[in-house]
Structure 1
Amino acid sequence: MSDGPLAGVDAVAWHRLHHAYGPATDVPDQLRALRSRDEDRRADALACLSGNVYHQGTRWQASHAVVPFLVALVDDPETPDRAAVVGLLHRIAIGDRRDDGLPFDPREAFAAGDAFDGPEHDGLLQRFYDEEELSDDECRILDAAAVRWAADSYFAASACLTTITGWVSDPDDLVAAHAAALVAWFEATDGVVSALVAVPEHRTRPRAGANLALAHTPAADVRVDRRLRELIRSGTTTTAVTAAVACAYRDGEALPEQALSILVEASGRDDLEAVPGWDRALRGFVMLALQRLGLG
């Protein structure tokens, strides 16, 4: 019998991959539980996966192997709670990094992982899993291992970027908004930028998330700048504010006067909506935008 989006999950050698609590043999059933009709069972599975393959921000050997199955689950419209699964995928792929790390350079971020060679250090990993006492040098090697596992998870998600980008236009606003926040951490390909620009204005949550993602797109692009200016003039409050933030990030002091007026007005408000997929409050983005202009 096919497992649908989880086809092939039992072919992974989970017993050879560790997570925070030992061999990852419990992962397949936790992934399957994300498809359950029982809401409590799904919530438990999500919590367990968050705790074992993304434990307090640390990724493990098994973490990267979970990524393609999470992508497949989100890509299947029959999966319940898809936005929550995107959130878990985001944590595994990106870790606990905040938006001040954007634009993201994976080569620089994961350079320390080059000091770890898995096969050469298998014995050390086993001693670590057995909770044996380790020297300072051995602990440094394990720190490099954690960076390598984080890199493996990131690049596993990067390999699925085309699929993830497709979610930016998903009919579910929360899925689309979380996807917009996630693609901001990967290469700003033409496909990614086009998807972010194309989000309709009336879909406030994904449009706001797309604006914040475009704020961190480094390359000059006429399509992006034209779209942001349109949204400043005609968008809802959340859409206009996030578009103004994006203009400040991209244009600096050359931003349109209307964008500056929107930012100044928004800086005094405590009722701005949160943008799904972003940890920072929208007012925090406003204040950072003003700081970039020398006004914060």
Structure 2
Amino acid sequence: MSSSSPPDWARLHHAYGRAKDVPGQLAALAGADPVARGAAVSALSSNVHHQGTRWPASAHVVPPLVMLADSPTTPDRPTVVHLLHAVALGDLSDEVLPFDPVRVFAAAERVSPSDEAAVLRVLFEDDAPDPDAVADVADAVALRWAADAYRAAERHAPSFVAWLQDPEPAVAARAAALLAWFPEAPALATALAGVGSGTGVVRASANLALAFLPGPPGSGELAALTESLASPDEAVRVSAAVALARRRPTALPDEALTALIHADDDEITGVVPGWDRSLRGHVALALQRLGL
């Protein structure tokens, strides 16, 4: 799949048949009419992310969504990034982080083009469809489409890294949350650690993303998380404590443990943009990690 030449949408399928309507919906996302944009988001969500299921067209939607998010003239870019997240990951919750795509998508590797064609034929072409005829491959084919969408997004991870410095906080915060699913992105740890502390929601999201990277934190990550522990922003302090509890549980600073205990006692509320689990949920996970 190439991002330089548009796909033949009429040959691709989404949840309701041929994807001929997708180009118009993508174009509407860049338009000035907020009603048309809202309708396009709803239609795309239903077409290529139908109840979490991805389709052959889904992976091809990723490059134009990235292009829209890259452009500062695109209206409501946080919504575009949110839609991109949904297309790339379906209904996966951050409760399954850290994510291992090789393991999760293993069954998709056995899917052949003929398997996919058979499923599409039963879904969209047969006058008297027989679902039992493809029952043994249907789940694997759906997983194949999910893997394709994930891999399409993975190829654009450098753009997600660049968005960490976006002047729009909601874009940067959602980019950090999205990057938690792509730990192999080049220089990711350095980029997350380098997020400024001027906007609390972005720093908090970057801290949570750092929590799910493998291994102990490097010196740059450790410095950023330690600095965050002194932030006047509660979400920044707590998210840093969560990250340190996951990545450095046997050498946890007292300030981090204090932040976690106070957050648990005070029943801290709120969700960081781009994350499914509430901040309190992250605290509970960190305390569990510590055996508390």
Pair 1:66–1:211, CA change in 2 (3 A): same
Which residues of 2 match residues 53-64 of structure 1 at below 5 A? Answer: 53-64=48-59
Pair 1:222–1:126, CA change in 2 (3 A): same
Cα distance between partner residues in 2 of 1:189 and 1:96: 22
- Of all paired residues, the percent bearing the same amino acid is 46
SS at match of 2:187: helix
By how many angstroms is 1:285 displaced? 0.6
* Residue type of the alignment partner of 1:56: Q
Deviations 1:234-277 (A, max 9, x none): 35211001000111111124211110111110012345332000
Cα distance between partner residues in 2 of 1:262 and 1:237: 9
Question: TM-score, normalised to structure 2's length?
Answer: 0.94
Task: Report if aligned partners of 1:63, 1:92 keep a CA contact under 8 Å in 2.
Answer: yes
SS at match of 1:233: coil
Moved more, 173-182 or 193-202: 193-202
Which residues of 2 match residues 87-166 of structure 1 at below 5 A? Answer: 87-119=82-114, 121-130=116-125, 132-136=128-132, 138-166=134-162
- Partner in structure 2 of residue 213 of structure 1: 209
Choose from 280, 283, 289 the match for 2:280.
283
Which residues of 2 match residues 213-252 of structure 1 at below 5 A? Answer: 213-220=209-216, 221-252=218-249
Choose from 9, 33, 42 the match for 1:14.
9
Pair 1:236–1:24, CA change in 2 (3 A): same
SS at match of 2:99: coil
Question: TM-score, normalised to structure 1's length?
Answer: 0.92
Structure 2 gap ranges (5+)? none
**Number of residue equivalences:** 288
Structure 1 gap ranges (5+)? 1-5
* Residue type of the alignment partner of 2:27: R
Alignment RMSD (CA, Å): 1.7
Task: Report if aligned partners of 1:231, 1:240 keep a CA contact under 8 Å in 2.
Answer: yes
* Residue type of the alignment partner of 1:212: L
Cα distance between partner residues in 1 of 2:208 and 2:244: 10
